[in-house]
Structure 1
């Protein structure tokens, strides 16, 4: 795989007439990312961020596809067919509970709805979470062309992230294959590796917004207030980049350890920075680019929706619980709680 995300994506954008799609990335081999925890987690996240800077809707599909490939590898699932497009559909809202029926060996039948399925009409396969009749959670691999699959976007009314093709998929005795053992999805080390990778996507979107600020200011004469907004965005991005690098390094050094604390810390810091950068950009640039710059307007609409994949105060409370139970989760290099 190429080592320069931006250059490859620029070339691909020209080749595809600016309409990047998941199938183009897969055809170019850009879905063959280093697996998390194998020594190059940072490079994996750099690709996620680079795609997000181009198109957050594409990044949503790309992240789901590459996460599915990582899950299949970690849980020794079937090898993906060449050119196949994958989704990772593991949201568990109480209103949409997917039931797994065992039919012998690893064979299953899926019954019921699956909500929040990004790329529903585009992917060929998916890793889905669901529930066995004995109450245990599980994962399954399903082909979207299998019988008993119905896809609907009637519940998807988003403006931001609207093109992510997120819908509800209903399964009616659909054949599938069990992946791993019950409980493996959350219990495996890669669960939090993937969760931290989402923050790299958020960072990529925020970096593109900051780049738009820099371009506009470079072409004009920014006042002191505009420069202050740009400086604030720059400092936030750099701080987040440092934390993401540290998180990636920790994961590569502790590939089988529970990465919950370091992943939550990265996600929460990037989430906060994203909110601040969106505010700084809006105040610095005004309504003009929101109305006249299609890419910027799309980023500003998409990113606040994408970042709501965070669990907000619940994640903060969980990180606080971990800090209380196990001591500070902050790096020891500067004395724990930033004791400079």
Structure 2
């Protein structure tokens, strides 16, 4: 599947100019059935993550929409939701900043949404979204909603980004918008797939870092420069570490798909985030300004990746990992 995916992706020479172009690319993948990835923990987790990495190396704006769409499909499958409409494209919107909150009222099997949702990638083009809202008991509830209805207003607010700018992750206002509950109260965070999906994000990051690193590799094939080779050595080492961690994590999920994988997910994300930052630094130091100014694909990845990485909460996430580690047995570090 990943070979077909790589062959299908055709990036415009100057990149995707806007969200409409990115969404058209997503629609093409959906039409070719390239959005139905193996589910996390299904025995083919690594195949799923390789697909995300392929799209991440192609374009992170498209990857953001593709990952959200495929994550929404996986969540609905995990929670036994109604099968999505054919050719629909989905966002997965779960950000919960204090300034933007959606409430949900359930009545006779239907859900009614009111409020504002932030960080809604692709909102003006997608047909549907799976989002978190808060019920009358103060519990979080997943809701599937058709975005093409009068009660949904896609604003132009909340997004002024340069990196990842094409995703247009604006705020969306719901006013008595109708939706369908997916799973029960609290099931979004309590299901095994929550942390499994978090590792899928790391695969997207990895794919972009791998593509950035290839520029340095190509340079070193043509130029015998000691400093560039030293940077390539550092890049090789950190990519190898992330690749090993992702492969091991995929095998672990496939062996125990229903297990608690929070600690594993936090480790994976920390390792891959560090790899991405190291790759961006080493490649930039080795190659200078040239690829940032003359290679449109490289420049776009270099602008997008630091923004996408901020789906990690940096030291806050490391502190959470440290809290897990201090309660674990030191023998877990043994070879």
Q: Same fold (TM over 0.5)?
A: yes
| 1:188 paired to 2:195 | no
Q: Is the 8 A contact 2:53 2:203 kept in 1?
A: yes
| 1:336 paired to 2:332 | yes
Counting only pairs closer than 5 Å after superposition, residues 29-48 of structure 1 correspond to structure 2 as 29-48=33-52
Residue 19 of structure 2 corresponds to none
* Aligned-partner SS, 1:319: helix
Counting only pairs closer than 5 Å after superposition, residues 1-340 of structure 1 correspond to structure 2 as 2=1, 5-6=2-3, 8-13=5-10, 21-105=25-109, 107-218=110-221, 220-328=222-330, 336-337=332-333, 339=334
Seen in structure 2, the aligned counterparts of structure 1 residues 254 and 16 have a Cα distance that, compared at 3 Å, is farther
Q: Is the 8 A contact 1:160 1:303 kept in 2?
A: yes
Distance 1:90 1:153 in 2: 19
Deviation at 1:194, TM superposition (A): 0.2
Q: Is the 8 A contact 1:109 1:176 kept in 2?
A: yes
Q: Is the 8 A contact 2:15 2:297 kept in 1?
A: no
Seen in structure 2, the aligned counterparts of structure 1 residues 97 and 239 have a Cα distance that, compared at 3 Å, is same
* Aligned-partner SS, 2:305: helix
Deviation at 1:6, TM superposition (A): 4.4
Distance 1:253 1:8 in 2: 26
Seen in structure 2, the aligned counterparts of structure 1 residues 14 and 179 have a Cα distance that, compared at 3 Å, is closer
1:159-194 per-residue CA deviation (whole Å, 9 max, x = no partner) reads 100111211111001011111100000000000000
Superposition RMSD in Å: 1.7
Which one is further off, 318-327 or 196-205?
318-327
Seen in structure 2, the aligned counterparts of structure 1 residues 7 and 211 have a Cα distance that, compared at 3 Å, is farther
Specify every segment of 5 or more residues in structure 2 that has no aligned partner in the other structure, as ranges: 17-21
Distance 1:92 1:70 in 2: 21
Larger relative contact order (CA 8 Å, sep ≥ 6): 2
Specify every segment of 5 or more residues in structure 1 that has no aligned partner in the other structure, as ranges: 329-334
Q: Is the 8 A contact 1:153 1:166 kept in 2?
A: no
Seen in structure 2, the aligned counterparts of structure 1 residues 302 and 252 have a Cα distance that, compared at 3 Å, is same
* Aligned-partner SS, 1:326: coil
Deviation at 1:133, TM superposition (A): 1.8
Q: Is the 8 A contact 2:119 2:158 kept in 1?
A: no
Distance 1:87 1:54 in 2: 20
Deviation at 1:290, TM superposition (A): 0.4
